[in-house]
Amino acid sequence: MKRPAPFLVFCILFSVTAASAQTKQDLCSRYDRAEKAADWPAAEKIARRGTALFPAETGFVTGLAWALRRQKKYAEAQGRLGVTIESW
């Protein structure tokens, strides 16, 4: 059985506000397309943009860590997750 993609968690963690909903939704959709295409460099870029725009949204950090892991950038992925856990 296939486990749910981290993208699902990535999107669920968003709190939607009127001012930023379109931007978050756009990033979420773009990340989804990159993940489905296994375009991990693109997914990394999108998630980095999300963390820059919405630093309080841990879903972007989780997505970034997943994209980094898929590119075998394990040390950075682990570091990103550590920052997320510490911020909770």
* Res 8: pLDDT: 56
String of DSSP letters for 13-76: TPPP-TTTHHHHHHHHHHHHHHHHTT-HHHHHHHHHHHHHH-TT-HHHHHHHHHHHHHTT-HHH
Q: Is residue 54 part of a domain?
A: yes
Residues of the domain holding 42: 6-87
pLDDT at 43: 97
In a domain, 29, yes or no: yes
Task: Domain count for the chain, please give it.
Answer: 1
pTM above 0.85, yes or no: no
3-class DSSP state for residue 77?
Answer: helix
Q: Which two tokens stand for residue 20?
A: 């930023």
Residue 55 and residue 12 in contact, taking contact as beta carbons nearer than 8 Å = no
Residue 71 lies in a domain: yes
The pLDDT assigned to 58 comes to: 84
Contact 64, 48 (CB under 8 A): yes
Is residue 1 in a domain? Answer: no
Q: Confirm whether 10 is domain-assigned.
A: yes
pLDDT of residue 19: 42
Query: Consecutive sets of 10 residues in the chain, 88 residues long: mean pLDDT of each?
Result: 57 48 85 96 96 88 94 90 60
